[in-house]
Structure 1
């Protein structure tokens, strides 16, 4: 009886290990045969600004937002991540990457060496981007200055530092579905929906997350605790923005100014530096989509302590 129990336990362990290994394996897109992509650099620049690439990847404490040597610290409940060098440098950046490697990094969160990227990199939103837009972004990045220098390693504790576990996280929180236009909506609305939910990755900051760091789908865009540990990220559904017009939202994305005349602060200032560079039509499209978000109650904001700031 004991021997049978041992064999059953051993078999269960083998099956469990096999399931873990299969579910946690990095998944990459197959390389599509065919002609080379004819890059549209102007579109690549639009995707660069929509994605806010400079906010995380520009070298800190210097004025040029196009020097993408990385190094910005991204705090989270799981540790501190440091944005990598994505300049055209062939040694420290992406200068030697292939198109397929870049697509797999951006849309699937898999490095050229076949490892999972941590989801501090918002590929859960980028997975919905069009492959042609990702390739245009890649071409645009290669036109920017090469910046030498290796970024420090992430500071993440056990067990979150085990990259293989990220495969299980992806299985739970990535659907792998492309963006599909809504035929009942206008082209402008669909353009806004695409930008907000793919490169714009607005939900990544403006949604509460569960204990594993996954977005709570029923409270998407409803705000919540700042994942970096300080402050509160606002609700951007009509629960909070009900009195804003689409023009108010567009003006905010262009200038950072609120309808009451106040100006945005904190991390959103970096976002505005990017959205302000977008074409007027794209800003209007994003505003149109954001204005359409139904009111959603987010998590209750903690009351300030008496005597606190």
Structure 2
């Protein structure tokens, strides 16, 4: 074989390896540098509790059908059905074996905001880190401090039940490359402190878009349809459009939206239903100013 032909063959063999290496580099788990989680000081547990309710941790991580006095036992195990398979939220109680009691702040924070697990693996976006990515390091630190005060549980949640190819975690790196961002979802006047706070709560810890925004075939949000309503990922029906002008809350005033989040009653004296029941219970525990900020942000959005 001539020298020129050997070079050509070598190049043909090398190109796929280079392409594979570049693809791996672009899609590998990408946690924060260690410095991101340093120097935050002692957690503000009171603020951590507010972040906890805003984030809706109870809704997915409390045991299925847990009574009211057990809602803070984050034993995991609830069934979340989706077009991609069935997900089972894990135990995130402070239990050192079954839960996350032996995690560090950095491990917790990277799971919350980068979708990277304790062992460096990609996490599935059924855990809404695509929204939590907007959370500040301080809020994550405060949340972590509050969660250490919660009861332990020895329950071990079932593993996810996913068909091929969705059971291949490496593919999640490509999903993140396409869809994971901490950029704002909507253009609102963030010079207004109330709107800025509302945007942070709705787009970040509140993760409202995870249910209220339609998704494409790969599970990413459809462009230009923020909070415009979507099929119910857990069954029949739809999650409503909550932009101005919608049939659900489009004609409500900001004060009526804030009141609904506090009391569960609509302006027509109907009551909250479905999966929104848990969300409303969580929102009722926030300070009035936060519910007002959420309402102001929703009213500031363009109609879908």
> Fold-level match, TM-score > 0.5?
yes
Who is 2:141 aligned against? 135
Count the aligned residue pairs.
Answer: 296
Per the alignment, do residues 26 and 125 of structure 1 end up closer, same or farther by CA in structure 2, a change over 3 Å counting? same
Aligned: 1:119 with 2:122: no
Q: State the distance in 2 between where 1:233 and 1:180 align.
A: 19
Q: Would you say 1:175 and 2:175 are equivalent positions?
A: no
Distance 1:269 1:40 in 2: 28
User: How far apart are 1:293 and its partner, in Å?
Assistant: 1.2
Structure 2 segments unaligned to the other structure (5+ residues): none
Other-structure match for 1:214 = 220
Q: Deviations over 1:178-199 (max 9, x none)?
A: 8999765421121111111100
- Is 1:15 matched up with 2:18? yes
Tell me if 1:263 matches 2:271. Answer: yes
Displacement of 1:34 in angstroms is: 5.2
Per-residue CA deviations over 1:77-111 (Å, capped at 9, x if unaligned) read 10010001010101111111111111101000101
Counterpart check, 1:43 vs 2:51: no
In the alignment, the residues of structure 1 paired with residue 8 and residue 78 of structure 2 have an alpha-carbon distance, to the nearest angstrom, of 52
Other structure's SS at 1:159 match:
coil
1:5 shift after superposition: 7.9
Residue of 241, 252, 255 corresponding to 1:244: 252
Normalising by the residue count of structure 1, what TM-score does the alignment of the two structures yield?
0.90
Give the C-alpha shift of residue 11 in structure 1.
2.9
The match for 1:201 among 197, 207, 211 is 207
Counterpart secondary structure, 1:167: helix
Query: What is the distance in 2 between the residues matched to 1:145 and 1:154?
Result: 24
Alpha-carbon spacing, 1:150–1:184, altered in 2? closer, same or farther (3 Å): closer
SS at 1:266's partner residue?
coil
Deviation of residue 287 (structure 1)?
0.9
Kept after mapping to 2: 8 A contact 1:206/1:233: yes
- Picking from 145, 150, 153, the partner of 1:144 is 150
SS in 1 for 2:22: helix
Which residue of 1 is the match for residue 298 of structure 2? 290
Q: d(CA) in 2 for partners of 1:140 and 1:180?
A: 30
Determine the C-alpha separation between the residues in 2 that align with 1:198 and 1:168: 22
Higher deviation after alignment, 72-81 or 28-37: 28-37
- 1:273-288 equivalences under 5 Å are 273-288=281-296
Q: How does 1:75-114 map to 2 (within 5 A)?
A: 75-114=81-120
Answer yes or no: is the 8 Å Cα contact 1:50–1:200 preserved in 2.
Answer: yes
1:54 matched to which residue of 2?
A: 58
What is the alpha-carbon root mean square deviation over aligned residues?
2.2
Residue 307 of structure 1 aligns with which residue? none
Q: Could you tell me whether the CA contact under 8 Å between 1:130 and 1:178 is conserved in 2?
A: no
CA distance in 1, matches of 2:236, 2:106: 37
Does the 8 Å contact 2:266/2:272 carry over to 1?
A: yes
User: What is the rounded CA distance, in whole Å, between the counterparts of 1:67 and 1:6 in structure 2?
Assistant: 61
State the TM-score, normalizing by the size of structure 2: 0.91
TM-superposed deviation, 1:46: 0.4
1:192 to 168, 187, 198: 198
C-alpha spacing 1:200/1:36, structure 2 compared with 1 (3 Å): closer
Task: Return the offset for 1:10.
Answer: 2.9
Runs of 5+ unmatched residues, structure 1: 297-309
Q: Contact 2:63–2:77 (CA<8 Å) still a contact in 1?
A: yes
Counterpart Cα distance in 2 of 1:226 and 1:35? 41
Per-residue deviation, residues 55-91 of structure 1 (Å, max 9, x unmatched): 0000112212101010111111100100010101011
